[in-house]
Structure 1
Amino acid sequence: MKHFFALLAAALVSITTFAANDAGSTPKIGIVVMHGKGGAPTRHVAELASALETKGYLVANLDMPWSARREYDASVSAAEAEVESALATLRSKGANRLFVAGHSQGGLFTLYFANKHVIDGIVAIAPGGNVGSPVFQDKLGGEVANARKMIADGKGNEKTRFADYEGAKGVTPLNTTAAWYFDWFNPDGAMNQSMATKNVNPRVPVLFIAPKADHPGLIKVKQDMFNALPVNPLTVLYEPDATHVGAPSASITEIVRWTTEISAR
Structure 2
Amino acid sequence: MRPCATLLALVLAGPLSGSPAWAEPVSCGVVLMHGKWGMPQSPYLKPVLQKLEPACQVKLLEMPWSRLRLYDKPYAEAVAQIRQAVSEFRQAGVQWVAVGGQSFGANAALAYMAQVGDVDAVLPMAPGHVPENFYPIPEVRRGIDAARQAVASGQGDALVEMTDINQGQRREVKAPAAALWSYFDPQGWANMALSAQNFRKAVPVFWAIGTHDSLYPSISAAIYQKLPAHADSQYLVVQANHATTPEVASEALLNWVKARTGR
TM-score range, shorter chain: 0.7 to 0.9
Superposed CA deviations along residues 3-47 of structure 1, whole A, max 9, x for unmatched, are: xxxxxxxxxxxxxxxxxxxxx953111000001111112221123
CA distance in 1, matches of 2:262, 2:110: 23
Q: Which has the larger radius of gyration?
A: 1
CA distance in 2, matches of 1:71, 1:187: 19
Shift, 1:118, TM fit: 2.9
CA distance in 2, matches of 1:188, 1:160: 20
Return the TM-score normalized by structure 2.
0.84
Q: Partner of 2:219: helix, strand, or coil?
A: helix
Stretches of 4+ aligned residues off by more than 6 angstroms: none
Shift, 1:190, TM fit: 0.3
Partner of 2:14: none
Gapped runs of 5+ residues in structure 1?
A: 1-23
Partner of 2:118: 118
Shift, 1:202, TM fit: 4.0
Partner of 1:51: 51
Q: Partner of 1:51: helix, strand, or coil?
A: helix
Shift, 1:112, TM fit: 1.4
CA contact (8 A) 1:103 1:127 kept: yes
Structure 1 residues 146, 160: closer, same or farther in 2, change over 3 A? closer
CA contact (8 A) 1:128 1:218 kept: no
Shift, 1:124, TM fit: 0.6
Q: Which among 239, 258, 261 is matched to residue 259 of structure 2?
A: 261
Aligned residue identity for 2:151: I
CA distance in 2, matches of 1:148, 1:222: 27
Aligned residue identity for 2:128: G
Gapped runs of 5+ residues in structure 2?
A: 1-22
Greater RCO (CA < 8 Å, at least 6 residues apart): 2
Tell me how large the CA RMSD over aligned residues is.
Answer: 2.0
Return the TM-score normalized by structure 1.
0.83
CA contact (8 A) 1:201 1:230 kept: no
Superposed CA deviations along residues 107-166 of structure 1, whole A, max 9, x for unmatched, are: 111111111313110001011111123x43324222111112222344321223222122
Q: Partner of 1:172: helix, strand, or coil?
A: strand
Greater helix fraction, Structure 1 or Structure 2: 1
CA distance in 2, matches of 1:253, 1:46: 13
Query: Structure 2 matches for 1:148-227, cutoff 5 A?
Result: 148-169=148-169, 171-215=170-214, 217-227=215-225
